Chain A
Amino acid sequence: MSKQKQASLLVQGYEVVIGFETHAQLATNSKIFSRAATAFGAEPNTQACAVDLALPGTLPVMNRAAVEHAIRFGLAVGSHVAEQSVFARKNYFYPDLPKGYQISQFEIPVVQGGEVSFYLGDEKKTVRLVRAHLEEDAGKSLHEDFIGQSGIDLNRAGTPLLEIVTEPDIRSSAEAVAYAKELHKIVTWIGICDGNMQEGSFRCDANVSVRKPGEPLGTRREIKNLNSFKFMQQAIDYEVRWQIEQLEDGYEIQQATVLFDPDTGETRAMRTKEDAADYRYFPDPDLPPLVIARSWVDEVKAAMPELPRAMAERLVADYGLPEYDATTLTQSPAMAAYFEVAAKACGQAKMASNWIMGEVSRRLNNEEKDIAQVPVSADTLAALLKRIADGTVSNNAAKQVMDALWSGEGQDVDAVIEAKGLKQMNDSGALEAIIDEVMAANAPMVEQFRAGKDKAFNALVGLVMKASKGKANPQQVNDVLRQKLG
């Protein structure tokens, strides 16, 4: 990063330093150490078996699918997938933690190193990962609905999580959000997480500190459970301002865990370092080390889809798209596939990109639909784009065709163009007649143009287009008009 750019990131002369811990819930059918189902939203305690309840005599058995998900993630971010990793117990008492310990990985995680790259504007940014480890989720304590008591729902207990930890490489709230979005894209793209932030499938904790450039790292405070990108930015911005104010007022930052309150827009400390628990981590004697054979990793690798960043780079190289388009089109595998089919079928990559990012996305957004639910197939879109390219319809007319295709009014592009009479006027005789009429009726404007007022030309073009009811080819209008105005 250039000095200039770095300076531009400073907030009141402070450098912001952020590291992320993200809990991605793995999209497995059953829990990480038991056979109970993981579906969200079931009646309390209906998806907790004897193992999840920690009944005496029960033991954990590793879910192979969860490991496979971790391998996929490791491959997606260029990590080392450990041949042998170790499950450890994190001991603490809480009513929604049935065993009195959480099974996690501590000293030797399954995924080691790696990085996540993304664009912030036109600048490429890379965040290094420390690790990603497998662990089980706890249950839920429900403090409402039970006067003077708490309810415990253990449906979530034992749900597989991948905790993804970064180096403190992030330098602003905007970078933080961009990182989180890119990570979210990766885990959903490779199918290991449904990415549903409202349901808690993708939860971020941000470790935030500030320092004067060149100084050692400041004391960090951890903002827990950021479950929307919007709150993430707000929370970090507030936290950064708060920390700088504290320092400017001569206070020291105390290491703490804080929560963001979306209602007040503030972060609030929930516990400080003094009450930090000693988790007494030790290797779980109920689980042998997790051994992953190279052949298994190779198998998973062979089945991996093309990753979003690689695909974006390929879209730039193969289709000559700008980086922005490539990034936008690789939001999901379905979106990218839609683009590629359309672009190949019509041979107009940039036009396809524009239409997908514009007309298609706008309509999807309006209807709160996903690209998977798009009513106009990529082939149909391509057929329409071909008609723009060959001059059959104007861009504006094509939008009307799109409306008809979208609403189901028509299926075939040419039939819709025909039925709606949107074909451009390619008969130069008819066009010349219209132009002559327009010039005759607007003689003062013709004069103005000839006197050197270029603006008048555009007005005349508009009048011709109007007179042709939009069917004239604008380029042709231009050419003929200029010729006649001579």
Chain B
Amino acid sequence: MTSKHIHEMGVAELAAAIADKQTSSVEAAQALLARAKQHGNLGAYLAFNEDATLAQARAADARVAAGERGPLLGVPVAHKDIFVTRDFPTTAGSKMLAGYQSPFDATVVAKLAGAGAVTLGKLNCDEFAMGGSNENSAFAVAHNPWDTGRVPGGSSGGSAVAVAARLAPAVTGTDTGGSIRQPASFCNVTGIKPTYGRCSRYGMVAFASSLDQAGPMARSAADCATLLTAMAGPDIDRDSTSLDRPAEDYTALLGKPREGASAAQPLKGLRIGLPKEFFGEGCAPDVVAAVRAALAEYEKLGATLVDISLPRTELSIPVYYIIAPAEASSNLSRFDGVKFGHRAAQYDDLVDMYQKTRSEGFGPEVQRRIMIGTYVLSHGYYDAYYLKAQQIRRLIAQDFQQAFAQCDVIAGPVAPTVAWKIGEKGDDPVANYLADIFTLPGSLAGLPGMSVPAGFGAGGLPVGLQLLGNYFKEGELLQAAHAFQQATDWHLKTPEGF
């Protein structure tokens, strides 16, 4: 037995402890399951299947016993309930899918399992990943462990809570408009959304197909790199939007100075672009202060700061809230009560069955987005809304390419504020949408993005630094985040009582 508790260990430590037989996968899984259940009031998990978890852990232990070592072998992780799983129910946080059992595992889930990771359970999220506070979950409110009266962010809220409260060393999340980065920021967790198409979407319950991306969340950039290495890669036989590009080792650049740089200033030569639109009036001063301090740290590491502009940042909100609901309105049509999921108990005819099933099964935010999406795709409105939004989306992507001519990564806040109080924005969808302003541009452009713990703002609440890279620059982003985490300890801070 090690001196540290299981839950105090990150992925690398735990994998090493299992490989060195200081602990076992079964022991680790049992400890984390017990802890997760003990902290059930945080609302992080939606489902467990202890038998399945322990069976996976025993299989991992058998591989260890046979002499195998691996960076994820035997390490317990948990999956956002957007990923379908054979051994656990999958709800996507919706009553519509209560009790739904998938006959197959999502590619991302299968790839992590293949690397020896063990599934602890399924994590709470906003219904169909629609939301930024986890308040849209049909099953449980998730609480931010830094202040349980506050939201953990969303939609991967349960994922962020599980990592922050040490209920899992690492988890999966999905990011459509900021759903990995924003909860990571709110909960002092490290998270990365890779380039669109890098992780297979097969087995992710679709929200907005052209934006949805899977990614890991963990306690460090290094652990994220380990997970992403296992998760990403081509899956062209099952997902046509999966990029046909060999998998990469995202840990390769970690701890290495940039080319021509030294160990003392490992990021020498790194140009960090600061979009002026990310630092204006719309961003809370405490957030700006934390981000500025983090950027000063980057300068110490050798990076230079460059002022840039992403002139269509504000437009990303209407553009996103046209495209994402449009795709969602169509993607969610399959939930009709005919084949699987919820069906109304009483109905008069087919149309009545559809109406009652969908009115009962979907929560208010999902219904709102289905209506918006249906509207913008309707005859006579398509050109003015959907088509126009697609045109602006292309311009936003072009803006990034111009910016990347001046810098290597783009940095700024993840969200304009720290985590807000549960219920605070409940009745105001627009207020919720505006909070996505800094994550949406990168999503619309399909770029990789991270949230890196950068310190604390008002009320001692975490602030995340957003790093955006050009396409396929996940390795460089992780390198830059890792260098920062070698120099600072923000990412190691744990909420009191956890």
Chain A bound to chain B: yes
- Chain A 97-113, CB-CB to B under 8 Å as 1, else 0, gives 01111000000000000
Chain B facing A: main interface SS: loop
Q: Are B350 and A286 in contact (CB under 8 A)?
A: no
> What A residues does B382 contact at CB under 8 A?
280-282
- The distance from the CB of B386 to the nearest CB of chain A, in whole angstroms, is 6
Give residues of chain A (113-153) contacting chain B, Cβ–Cβ below 8 Å. Answer: 152
B333 contacts chain A at the CB level, 8 A cutoff: yes
Q: Are A58 and B92 in contact (CB under 8 A)?
A: no
- What CA separation (Å) do A402 and B329 show in the bound complex? 68
Q: Are A50 and B103 in contact (CB under 8 A)?
A: yes
- Chain B 339-364, CB-CB to A under 8 Å as 1, else 0, gives 11000000000100010000000000
If A56-B97, A282-B377 touch, whether A61 touches B239 (CB-CB below 8 Å) is: yes
- What CA separation (Å) do A50 and B106 show in the bound complex? 12
Give residues of chain B (74-122) contacting chain A, Cβ–Cβ below 8 Å. Answer: 83-84, 90, 92, 97, 100, 102-104, 106
- The distance from the CB of B150 to the nearest CB of chain A, in whole angstroms, is 31
Q: Are A91 and B336 in contact (CB under 8 A)?
A: no
- What CA separation (Å) do A423 and B228 show in the bound complex? 88
> What B residues does A53 contact at CB under 8 A?
339-340
Residue of A nearest to B332 (CB): A100
A278 contacts chain B at the CB level, 8 A cutoff: yes
> What A residues does B339 contact at CB under 8 A?
53-54, 98, 152
B203 contacts chain A at the CB level, 8 A cutoff: yes
A: number of interface residues (CB 8 Å): 29
A55 contacts chain B at the CB level, 8 A cutoff: yes
- What CA separation (Å) do A280 and B371 show in the bound complex? 13
Q: Are A57 and B240 in contact (CB under 8 A)?
A: no
A95 contacts chain B at the CB level, 8 A cutoff: yes
- What CA separation (Å) do A89 and B106 show in the bound complex? 24
Give residues of chain B (294-313) contacting chain A, Cβ–Cβ below 8 Å. Answer: none
- What CA separation (Å) do A57 and B374 show in the bound complex? 21
If A57-B203, A282-B326 touch, whether A287 touches B240 (CB-CB below 8 Å) is: yes
> What A residues does B210 contact at CB under 8 A?
285
If A285-B209, A285-B210, A287-B240 touch, whether A93 touches B202 (CB-CB below 8 Å) is: no
| A286 in complex: contacting residue of B83, B209, B334, B336, CB < 8 Å | B209
- What CA separation (Å) do A282 and B374 show in the bound complex? 11
> What A residues does B90 contact at CB under 8 A?
56-57
Interface centre among A57, A282, A286 (most CB of B within 10 A): A57
B30 contacts chain A at the CB level, 8 A cutoff: no
- What CA separation (Å) do A60 and B338 show in the bound complex? 20
- What CA separation (Å) do A281 and B327 show in the bound complex? 11
If A98-B334, A280-B378 touch, whether A56 touches B240 (CB-CB below 8 Å) is: no
Give residues of chain B (427-455) contacting chain A, Cβ–Cβ below 8 Å. Answer: none
Residue of A nearest to B106 (CB): A57
- What CA separation (Å) do A287 and B210 show in the bound complex? 10
Give residues of chain A (52-98) contacting chain B, Cβ–Cβ below 8 Å. Answer: 53-62, 89, 91, 93, 95, 98
- The distance from the CB of A105 to the nearest CB of chain B, in whole angstroms, is 15
- The distance from the CB of A37 to the nearest CB of chain B, in whole angstroms, is 17
- What CA separation (Å) do A285 and B239 show in the bound complex? 11
If A280-B378, A282-B382, A288-B240 touch, whether A100 touches B103 (CB-CB below 8 Å) is: no
Q: Are B241 and A99 in contact (CB under 8 A)?
A: no
Give residues of chain A (432-451) contacting chain B, Cβ–Cβ below 8 Å. Answer: none
> What B residues does A91 contact at CB under 8 A?
329-330, 333, 377
For the complex with contacts A56-B92, A95-B336, A288-B241, 16 further pairs of A-B residues with Cβ separation under 8 Å are: A55-B84, A56-B340, A57-B90, A59-B201, A59-B241, A61-B239, A93-B333, A95-B338, A100-B336, A101-B330, A280-B329, A280-B378, A280-B379, A282-B377, A285-B327, A286-B240
What are 23 A-to-B residue pairs whose CB atoms are below 8 Å?
A55-B104, A56-B90, A56-B97, A56-B100, A56-B102, A56-B206, A56-B334, A57-B90, A57-B104, A59-B201, A61-B237, A61-B240, A91-B330, A91-B377, A93-B336, A95-B336, A95-B338, A95-B350, A99-B333, A100-B332, A152-B338, A278-B378, A280-B329
Instruction: Enumerate chain B interface residues (CB-CB to A < 8 A).
Output: 83-84, 90, 92, 97, 100, 102-104, 106, 201-206, 208-210, 236-241, 326-327, 329-330, 332-334, 336, 338-340, 350, 354, 374, 377-379, 382, 386
Those 4 A-B pairs whose CB atoms lie nearest each other, nearest first: A100-B333, A285-B209, A280-B377, A285-B210
Instruction: Enumerate chain A interface residues (CB-CB to B < 8 A).
Output: 50, 53-62, 89, 91, 93, 95, 98-101, 152, 278, 280-282, 284-288
